[in-house]
Chains A and B, each alone.
Chain A
Amino acid sequence: DTGVSQNPRHKITKRGQNVTFRCDPISEHNRLYWYRQTLGQGPEFLTYFQNEAQLEKSRLLSDRFSAERPKGSFSTLEIQRTEQGDSAMYLCASSLGLQGGYEQYFGPGTRLTVT
């Protein structure tokens, strides 16, 4: 069990550019979640996958955001035409669902800075 990994750990981009983040969950976990955390706040739910199906999206996930989980393994989160308000820590988590008591295991996060 190597834990949840996220790449890159840090990303600095200019406003208007596109960015993509990757999350590799714990290998046997079928559920994968994305959260966003801004300074001084708790994480906020963005979206959730069960295997390759995206089953829920938050209203926070505007049309500029898209997430995929091809083949039910790793996931990517893309932000198009970044805005300064997108600056945040993007956290990925995975779980076994009911079998795991709904515990979610978090990765180290990707810190995005939009200049």
Chain B
Amino acid sequence: AQSVTQLGSHVSVSEGALVLLRCNYSSSVPPYLFWYVQYPNQGLQLLLKYTTGATLVKGINGFEAEFKKSETSFHLTKPSAHMSDAAEYFCAVTDRGGGYNKLIFGAGTRLAVHP
């Protein structure tokens, strides 16, 4: 069964520092990949997605992610963290086996940004 691993349940960075949140998936067939952000007591907001084509995808709020098939990874980065980036981030996949009908989420990474 498809699974998603997010390495590091908590990540702390200083304002202005690089943000790197890691995501690895288990499928041998490249899935569609997503990153969502969740602020406290809110639903999930889509940051970016990869389906096909260019492996480096850009999203909202200055985030980007690179799909690496050989590493089965889809890590999320942002060159310079802002205080407003503090939130929980979820990596998710959906694939052809499931008819692209459901998202499988990782456990999430809580990002803290310090002044």
Q: Which residues of A contact B (CB under 8 A)?
A: 4, 6, 31, 33, 35, 40-45, 48, 55-56, 91, 93, 97-98, 101-109, 111
* Interface CB pairs A-B, < 8 A, 17: A4-B43, A33-B103, A40-B108, A42-B4, A42-B90, A42-B106, A42-B107, A43-B44, A43-B90, A43-B105, A56-B101, A56-B102, A101-B32, A102-B32, A103-B49, A104-B46, A109-B42
**Which residues from chain A contact B103 at a C-beta distance below 8 Å?**
33, 35, 43, 45, 104
Q: Is B45 located at the chain interface by the 8 A CB criterion?
A: yes
* Proximity bits, B52-80, A CB within 8 Å = 1, else 0: 00000000000000000000000000000
Q: Which residues of B contact A (CB under 8 A)?
A: 4, 9, 32, 34, 36, 41-46, 49, 51, 90, 92, 94, 100-108
Give the docked Cα–Cα distance between A104 and B49 (Å).
Answer: 11
Scoring A41, A106, A109 by chain B CB atoms within 10 A of each residue's CB, the highest score goes to A106
